[in-house]
Structure 1
Amino acid sequence: MRNDRLAIDFGTSNSAAAILDQGQPRRIAIEPGAETLPTAVFFPAQGGAMRIGAAAAEALIQGAEGRYMRALKSVLGTALFHESRLIAGKRRTLSEIITAFLATLRERAEAAAGRPFRRALSGRPVHFHSNDPVRDAQALADLQGCYLAAGFGEVAFLPEPEAAALASHGLGRAGEIGLIVDIGGGTSDFSAFRSRGDGLQILANHGIRLGGTDFDQQVSLSHAMPALGHGGQLRRAMGPGLLPVPNAIYVDLATWARIPFLYVPETRRMAAGMARMAVDRAAMDRLVAVLDEELGHELAFAVERGKIAANAGDGARIAMGFVEPGLAPEISPASLEAALSDCRRDLAQAAAETLRLAGIAPGQVGSVILVGGSSLMGFVAAEALRLCPGAQLRRAGAFTAVVDGLALATAR
């Protein structure tokens, strides 16, 4: 009997789909020539079909009029999920947008495979929200509702690191204890497992709400936002003395999921008012320009590129010439490490907690398997080896291990 379930890895930054074909995962090219696609959408200002993936990013790069949105998964379980916003001339909720993304993914998978899919097996983080069971449960309910509204009659979920373990446990030896370290765009997830001749035994799963978009946020706040007035001072409207520039607008501008909601009259008026009172007027005028010209995502991509370059071990710059010619704050490996020190600490603690939950000592771990695009950050491997110094460090498919494991799990 043919397996009729579609495996879907709906990620914060990237998504993928696969099926089980003769006992092996077969990834479906949702976009031509690509096994994954950015989890992003673009709504043209003058109407027309929603664009997803690379087409959405291309519209932004080409300067098309409209609204670009990324990191949609981050809003699951939050108040933003059901809020109605005016986007490209029409009121929409993020629930409707995620549903439309999943429906498009399903339709393209069906066209590529030549058959319908009415059942889905989706990955999910161990925890959508850290230390908040109510929001965690709501996020799962939100995602389930989107799948059903997208045309699936049934959806089941599997923790993402468990799926990655299914796809990659063969990298180690039979009987060996392994640790999956899956650092995605929005969450970090861990599975401790034991390899067996007939598969694997999951010993413990754990996860926290921390990922690559959070890394970007910290780098943006520490390196890019000071050029827009972050950390500066304002003159008082009446009387002597100075006030600190409010942080909230910069935090939102540094957060992928919140950028689209800054382009409203109230926020622009607030920025213009701060510019009039700013000690450093030139920096605050740059903030006004970013909001007026809707350059938030261009700024976020520039920060991401700077982060990647500094992670490679070289000094780099965050190219912000689209804001002001020649504007390019420096970023070095040392300054990157300082910006991400809290993230590094939290990831290390979460990995150690996974081993504690599994009841195993770090010295028992034979393999640490890195998964997820953000696992390519140098400090992730360094902390994994510091925790488990006797383990062999291995890498699975950074962007495909989860969807491969989900496809394998559809046979269960």
Structure 2
Amino acid sequence: MVTQACGVDFGTSNSTVACYRSGQSQLLALEDGKVTLPSVVFFNAEEETTAFGRAAIGEYLDGYEGRLMRSLKSLLGTNLMNGQTEVNGRALRFMDLLSSFIGALKQRAEAQAGQTFTQAVFGRPVFFVDDDPVADKLAEDTLAEIARRAGFQDVAFQFEPIAAAFDYESRIQREELVLIVDIGGGTSDFSLVRLAPQRMALLDRRADILANGGVHIGGTDFDKQLSLHSVMPLLGYRSRLKNNAEVPSGYYFNLATWHTINFVYSRKTLSDLQGVYADALERDKLDRLFSVIEKRAGHWLAIQIEAAKIALSDTAVHSLSLDEITQGLTHDLTRGQFDEAIDRQIDSVTQTITRLLQDAGITAGQVDTVFFTGGASAVPLLRERVAALLPLAAKVEGDRYGSIGSGLALDALRRFA
């Protein structure tokens, strides 16, 4: 069966599109044969072009003048969505920025599938915005408007962990009570769902969803904490001034956060820092900060830190090369430092899971399976803490980047076919 419906997983770090054909859900190649498209846009000032995904990162790292923007999904539900930013000397509305990326996502999927998609189920976190239902609804409505601008006529939404559950359900042989643990770039989302092969065709699955929960913590937060804990001190974070006060921390928090990196490049920041430099006790560290600003290497540094986070999921020590900042500068990061950096965030994640089970009236021993998905679900400390909460449950690894998109395509088939 071929339909004009697809599933769209617009992620903070990576995005996918899937459709149902040949009797199964299929992820579509979106860039260089890969099914993920990094949620990144680069406005090339020299060529006056716009690049997306890996190509965007590549042009930025090749040294082209321009503006790199990432973590676009994080804008939803914030006041920034009503505003604009300057890109290569021109004003760009954030609404138009997200529309251009979703439009590119749709075009690439259609080119790969050889057909037009007019209907879509978009994934959404359990909470776009924590503890603010009005802002959360606004975020969903905004994404729906962006999707329609991109050319989708019928738009529906599904919680991302529920979509992952549908993907897992397509592969099981018996009924299971499953906790979906979806750790994405911007949010951690959880669903407790009763799954079974005989339930797959049902349109109404509300009775099978025992509880949903989420917290606004994800892979980009892990990057930020690793940066602040282990890398920003090399640039002067928490170093002292002559009056024993700390160097103002705002510069480092902006530099450690994807969507605020460009704030560090402003003339006001440079002027303020020159005043701070005069009173600094460790000027060699501030020299490195000035180097980052002058070379506009903030995004480069963020990419190195993200790569270190990924590496520390598989190794105990990762050597970070910082030649771009200071020739010959290296810094070893350890798994222990990473664990210490993100300990508070992981606690928030496990507390959310504990509340979810309590709200559902389910004990840990009743959960059959924990299904991990999302790019940041591989973090060892997260796995250890979740395993300690649910020691008897089987631990199943989903497609970190593809489970949600595949599940959304199955949901699109139910809704639109």
* TM-score, scaled to structure 2: 0.94
Match of 2:178 in 1: 178
**Aligned amino acid, residue 218 of structure 1:** Q
Match of 2:300 in 1: 298
**Aligned amino acid, residue 365 of structure 1:** V
Aligned pairs for 1:9-408 within 5 A: 9-46=9-46, 48-170=48-170, 172=172, 174-199=174-199, 201-235=208-242, 241-408=243-410
Contact 2:277-2:286 within 8 A present in 1 as well: yes
Contact 2:44-2:64 within 8 A present in 1 as well: yes
Deviation at residue 117 of structure 1 after TM alignment: 1.8
Contact 2:9-2:122 within 8 A present in 1 as well: yes
**Worse overlay, 2-11 or 134-143:** 134-143
SS in 2 for 1:85: strand
Task: Summarize deviations over 1:25-65 as a string: whole Å, max 9, x none.
Answer: 12111213111111101000135331001110111221121
User: RMSD over aligned Cα, in angstroms?
Assistant: 1.6
Deviation at residue 81 of structure 1 after TM alignment: 2.2
Give, in whole Å, the separation in 1 of the partners of 2:385 and 2:174: 25
Give, in whole Å, the separation in 2 of the partners of 1:110 and 1:172: 30
Deviation at residue 276 of structure 1 after TM alignment: 2.5
Give, in whole Å, the separation in 2 of the partners of 1:310 and 1:27: 28
Task: Summarize deviations over 1:6-26 as a string: whole Å, max 9, x none.
Answer: 211000000011111133112
SS in 2 for 1:191: strand
SS in 2 for 1:64: coil
SS in 2 for 1:269: helix
SS in 2 for 1:338: helix
Deviation at residue 173 of structure 1 after TM alignment: 5.2
Identity of aligned residues (%): 38
Contact 2:2-2:20 within 8 A present in 1 as well: no
CA 1:360–1:170: 2 relative to 1, 3 Å:
farther
**Aligned amino acid, residue 271 of structure 1:** L
Deviation at residue 2 of structure 1 after TM alignment: 4.5
Contact 1:17-1:28 within 8 A present in 2 as well: yes
SS in 1 for 2:179: strand
Contact 1:52-1:101 within 8 A present in 2 as well: yes
Give, in whole Å, the separation in 2 of the partners of 1:323 and 1:364: 52
SS in 1 for 2:126: coil
**Worse overlay, 363-372 or 353-362:** 353-362
CA 1:91–1:205: 2 relative to 1, 3 Å:
same
Question: Gaps (5+ residues) in structure 1?
Answer: 236-240
Deviation at residue 195 of structure 1 after TM alignment: 1.9
Give, in whole Å, the separation in 1 of the partners of 2:229 and 2:197: 48
SS in 2 for 1:68: strand
**Worse overlay, 9-18 or 55-64:** 55-64
Match of 2:204 in 1: none
Give, in whole Å, the separation in 2 of the partners of 1:335 and 1:310: 10
Give, in whole Å, the separation in 2 of the partners of 1:310 and 1:106: 34
SS in 2 for 1:329: strand
Give, in whole Å, the separation in 2 of the partners of 1:20 and 1:311: 33
Contact 2:186-2:216 within 8 A present in 1 as well: yes
* TM-score, scaled to structure 1: 0.95
Contact 1:123-1:157 within 8 A present in 2 as well: yes
**Count of residues paired in the alignment:** 407
CA 1:230–1:368: 2 relative to 1, 3 Å:
same
Contact 2:46-2:64 within 8 A present in 1 as well: no
Deviation at residue 92 of structure 1 after TM alignment: 0.6
SS in 2 for 1:210: coil
Q: Runs of at least 4 residues of structure 1 off by over 6 A?
A: none
